[in-house]
Amino acid sequence: MDKIHCHGCRNDFYNGYNELGVKKCSSMKGAKLVSRISIGHWENPPYLNKAKSEVPNCWHGYGSNRIHYIDPKDIDSKGYWR
């Protein structure tokens, strides 16, 4: 895993962007890139035509700009998140 994929994650703070001296996020050790559909918590279904992207499986968003990265298998045939 490369920290370039961590941009926008709240834990990216731990990739050397802190005064604590922490150089690498502890979540990166076991992280892997996975295919997900990005859905903002303000968006309404259906989610049938949403593009897939590769994100770390440990990625977490910030507060009101929260984006959920959903496994495409969790979207049903009508476009609803199960």
pLDDT single digits (tens) 33-59: 999 998 888 899 999 888 898 999 998
What is the pLDDT at residue 49?
A: 87
Write the pLDDT tens digit of every residue in 10-33: 899 999 999 999 999 999 889 999
Angle at 27 between CA 26 and CA 30, to 5 degrees: 110
Q: What is the DSSP letter of 11?
A: G
In angstroms, the CA 29 to CA 19 distance is 21
In whole numbers, what is the pLDDT of the chain averaged over residues?
89
Q: Report which residue type is found at 59.
A: W
Q: What is the mean pLDDT of residues 60-78?
A: 84
- Domain spans of the chain, in order of start: 3-74
